[in-house]
Amino acid sequence: MWDYYRRLQPNIQTVVKARQLVYNYVMVTKYSHNGLTWIDVEAPTGDEVKALMSEYHIHPLVGEEFMIPSEKTKVDVYDHYLYLTLHFPTREGSKETSHEIDFLVGTNYCITLHYEPIEALTTFSKVFETHSILNKKEEGEHGGFLFYFIVKKLYAAVGYDLDGIKSRLQHVEREIFKGNERDQVFELSTQSRKLLDCKQTLFGHKEVLESFKEASAKFFGPAFLPHADLLVDEHVRTYTTILASKEFLHDLRDTNDSLLSAKQSEIMKLFTVSAFVTFPLVLTVEILSIPSVANPLHGNPHDFWIIIGVVVVAAYGMFNYFKSKKWL
């Protein structure tokens, strides 16, 4: 039995190594069509970055950027490619976060590097595999078009999330006017945080895309300028949607706060009037209940009902008086 295990052990180690190689390999996925290549890299290892640097002649500074996440958006121009860093808001279940994507845009390729799975890129890979975005000749000439379609898909994913936020705000609006103001305070805060995260994440995109537009005109030629302009427009449209949603949310919050304040004022007024009515009545009952010789009701066989009658008449009279003054 031991000899059998010794003979089997090298094979087991080979399988484990093969599986590890496969695991590392799928972190770098290549898609090609008509001489144009998209390389999608997820959580790269040092060896994978070195292989990319060797194959695409990537500058060592860019290789270092690939290994370390960056909080800043930027665009750098090199001799054979353009290097950009952009952050996009994404969802992880119910949690809102942002993901960094590094783009290396060359003449016939585009590299996207990220550190976590991104649903929009997975969707784009399926579209790319069917070649449905590169059927036109003019849209398959260089990597700039790949960058255009990828970023456009990422903005579409953000727009989809913003539509979800807008739908939630419309639901909040209906609930507010149904009288459920108190229940919507937390929901308004949650949606406000989501919009704030989106706004902060996309804030620097316009400057980067404008710089990319200027660089791409020299790198890919003037014919690419309309597509670069469309990317700037996509960002402006998405950012404007965020601002419009924030304004809508602020209006809803103001309305909700006003209704809550009015309802609380009514409750406080009701408590104040109730206290004002009950205090003299309680005082009257206490005075009439004093067992003193001078008390006209003391010893009267109907003293209890007389006190009750006095209290009811006094309460009724005060209620009508407050109502005539429109305090109730």
Concatenating the DSSP letter of every residue in 216-238 gives HHHHT-GGGHHHHHHHHHHHHHH
Q: What's the fold here for domain 27-261?
A: Beta Polymerase; domain 2 (3.30.460)
Q: Where in the sequence of the chain do the CATH 3.30.460.20 domains occur?
A: 27-261
What digits encode the pLDDT tens for the residues 239-292? 999 999 999 999 999 998 888 887 777 777 777 767 766 777 777 777 767 776
What digits encode the pLDDT tens for the residues 194-206? 999 999 999 999 9
Q: What Cα–Cα distance (Å) separates residue 44 from each residue in 5, 20, 34, 61, 230?
A: 35, 14, 26, 16, 31
In sequence order, the 6+-apart residues with CB closer than 8 A to the CB of 253 are 188, 192
What digits encode the pLDDT tens for the residues 55-84? 999 999 999 988 888 888 889 999 899 999
Burial class, 234, CB count within 10 angstroms (exposed 0-12 / middle 13-18 / buried 19+): buried
How would residue 97 be classed by pLDDT, with cut points 50, 70 and 90? confident
For residue 59, what is the DSSP state? -
The structure tokens 């936020």 sit at: 165
pTM: 0.74
